[in-house]
Structure 1
């Protein structure tokens, strides 16, 4: 029973954010953007979703993710929170 509740909780957290695919920038870096789907999602959760996606992308290439910059917009409860992670796989 506890396992089902934990799985449901993790699924709910994953449903709180959306993450774009990995894109290349003209300066050679990679970027991924994550957005809150609900107004009550914390900035930290939105940032973590983007960073996790970047780490997963680099891990598939057997490299490590190096964050170059993290930009955020939006205010919790007022506007949609968006976080852009700019990174390299090294």
Structure 2
């Protein structure tokens, strides 16, 4: 029975993370969004997921990611958490 409680707690804490495709935001900027539903994911992890995806996108082009803006929405453990990262890719 205890194992069942532990498994339930892990599911609640873990949540479900979705990272969007990178989309053009105009003027040479791009946007990527990370969304976490459920759980108690720290905001740092939510933001880091968007940052990592943006960095990967620019590296694929042989460039470096330059952060432009970061917006967060939601309440941890209450509503879905979203981190919207706007960035550009610049020559290294």
Give the shorter-chain TM-score range. Answer: 0.7 to 0.9
Report the TM-score when normalising by structure 2.
0.76
Q: Are positions 1:63 and 2:54 aligned together?
A: no
Over residues 4-27 of structure 1, what are the superposed CA-to-partner deviations in whole Å (9 max), with x where a residue is unaligned?
Answer: xxxxxxxxx7x8421000000134
CA distance in 1, matches of 2:71, 2:79: 15
Q: TM-score, normalised by structure 1?
A: 0.78
The 5 Å alignment of 1:25-44 reads 25-44=25-44
Distance 1:16 1:39 in 2: 8
2:22 is matched with 22
Residue of structure 1 in register with 2:45 after alignment: 45
Contiguous gaps of at least 5 residues in structure 1: 1-12
Query: Considering only aligned residues, what root-mean-square deviation do their CA atoms show, in Å?
Result: 1.6
C-alpha displacement of 1:38: 2.5
Alignment check: 8 A CA contact 2:38 2:78 kept: no
8 Å Cα contact 1:17/1:49 also seen in 2: no
Where structure 2 has 5 or more consecutive residues not aligned to the other structure, the ranges are: 1-13
Deviation >6 Å, runs of 4+: none
Q: CA deviation at 1:58?
A: 0.3
In our comparison, the structure showing a higher alpha carbon Rg is 2
